[in-house]
Structure 1
């Protein structure tokens, strides 16, 4: 009985253990399934990431290829722009150098056989010289040979050396092309545009000269194709007013600048204001010059008065000096005569003494040295007195001059 209960108990315990093991196994199997699902999801995410990365790499390669194509396109555009500029320059040069003249049966203009005259060209102001030449060609009044000879005759100095590189049979158009290659404008387009927008009126430059210089810069920019001709009036008006050197002129013409006035009208008003300012300045300078002239004349009059005073003092000094000289000469003559008389008395008095030692009676004994010293001191006193008088007069003159 006891054995049977033990077996039942053990059987029950075994059943419980089996149930626990089955539950544990089921739990582990569920955990395994969960892990497998997670692994599958992670693998799917990994594959998605790989696909996304591959797509990104493809996009990066496409972007790099497009950038390369864009760079190539930019380079081609730059090359095309340069070609366009070169072609524009060539077309402009041909338009400037080519003489357009329609010859019809009813054309009554006769070509002149006289050699025309062009301004001398020494290497400076080429554009002005070229304009004169092109205008002469377009008139059609002269033959091509006459214009070519006029071009050769106008060359001066070192510029004539270019004739050594030109054939005698070349036309006027070819001569101008050769001159343009050697003396034409070599500034870049950017430099010309920069000079136009940064130009300012010089201190000594008039408004008229400033306007002409600005128009020349604008025309160069138009010829290079950087500024449109239709913007001519607005651009010139703006740059002309902003480039004025005088703030006073700017303030006087601000209303015209901000209004709808044209460039020419603004320039005329500016010139008028400049002329009025110049007249006011000239009047002020005249008054200042007149005042300075009056001051100078006053100083000259004072100097003349001083010179007259000095001349009078000099003449008085000369008179006093002559009088002193005469007194001194008379004094010297008196002194010499006194000395001769004393010497005669000494000589005659020595005859009465034995041995010629001049002992005994001597009327002036013991007085000769005293007389000589007294006479010398008197002469020195007179001479010093004259010197003091002359010095006192000179001091008085210097004091008056000062």
Structure 2
């Protein structure tokens, strides 16, 4: 039995509706079976522009741009995928443009309605003024900071190498004081942004473990130092009163 015939028989034996595991649909010139490449239509998250908690326009647009970079997908496939992902107000806007509008026109229209309108200077001010929240862990803090910088970069030209240093500096300077104390040497040594991020996360994990052992939530080296200094001040004050008496 030839390879082609054997593959045909194996495919016929598989249950109906199942994705064929037929590894051989035809023989290649070398005599070896050629694999079959099965492709699925791409998907995008739904976007309406009116629901809280849904995918933001920036994230949705980024995923569209990723599809456009995929050379194996035609413009028509990407356009259909974009149309199917729109809901509510966004879908109404697409309908108003008409079926003859191309993908570039649709993205531009959605950008003008749902995209950021903040000026580059304002976005940079938000970036440099950002501080890690009291209950915000390092991973969430980093994601928020990167999002702020990405918004600013979208409005103005910021070189990639400059972005990395901007993130490194602001990630450390905007972190909680106890985390800065534990990672100051890493920052001063000029380590990369990724190395600094890992160091901050390790420091955060160490502080959490120490707090769990002591049974005091949020216990940090800074708080311990303040307590020690306070006891020393009380002792010095007592000694001073004794001398005066």
Q: Please, what TM-score do these two structures have when normalized by structure 1?
A: 0.40
- Measured in 2, the distance between the counterparts of 1:183 and 1:174 equals 14
Residue 46 (structure 2) aligned to one of 120, 130, 135: 120
Matched-pair contact (CA < 8 Å) for 2:94–2:106: no
Matched-pair contact (CA < 8 Å) for 2:119–2:155: no
Matched-pair contact (CA < 8 Å) for 1:115–1:147: no
Alpha-carbon shift at residue 278 of structure 1 (Å): 1.9
Question: 2:207 maps to which residue?
Answer: 277
Aligned structure 1 segments of 4 or more residues deviating by more than 6 angstroms: none
Q: Which has the larger radius of gyration?
A: 1
Matched-pair contact (CA < 8 Å) for 1:126–1:183: yes
Residue 153 (structure 1) aligned to one of 62, 68, 84: 84
1:194 aligns with 2:125: yes
Alpha-carbon shift at residue 277 of structure 1 (Å): 1.6
Residue 247 (structure 1) aligned to one of 177, 186, 193: 177
Question: 2:108 maps to which residue?
Answer: 177
Larger helix share, 1 or 2: 1
Question: 2:63 maps to which residue?
Answer: 132
- Measured in 2, the distance between the counterparts of 1:171 and 1:273 equals 50
Matched-pair contact (CA < 8 Å) for 1:201–1:210: yes
Alpha-carbon shift at residue 130 of structure 1 (Å): 0.3
Question: 1:92 maps to which residue?
Answer: none
Provide closer, same or farther for how the CA distance between residues 160 and 284 of structure 1 changes in structure 2, counting only shifts above 3 A: farther
Provide closer, same or farther for how the CA distance between residues 248 and 229 of structure 1 changes in structure 2, counting only shifts above 3 A: same
Matched-pair contact (CA < 8 Å) for 1:113–1:143: no
Q: How many residue pairs are counted as aligned between the two chains?
A: 175
Matched-pair contact (CA < 8 Å) for 1:121–1:154: yes
Q: Unaligned stretches of 5+ in structure 2?
A: 1-37, 50-54, 218-245
- Measured in 2, the distance between the counterparts of 1:146 and 1:119 equals 16
- Measured in 1, the distance between the counterparts of 2:39 and 2:184 equals 54
Matched-pair contact (CA < 8 Å) for 2:90–2:110: no
Residue 204 (structure 1) aligned to one of 135, 139, 144: 135
- CA RMSD in angstroms comes to 2.3
Q: Unaligned stretches of 5+ in structure 1?
A: 1-111, 288-402
Provide closer, same or farther for how the CA distance between residues 144 and 234 of structure 1 changes in structure 2, counting only shifts above 3 A: closer
Matched-pair contact (CA < 8 Å) for 1:195–1:217: yes
Residue 257 (structure 1) aligned to one of 187, 204, 224: 187
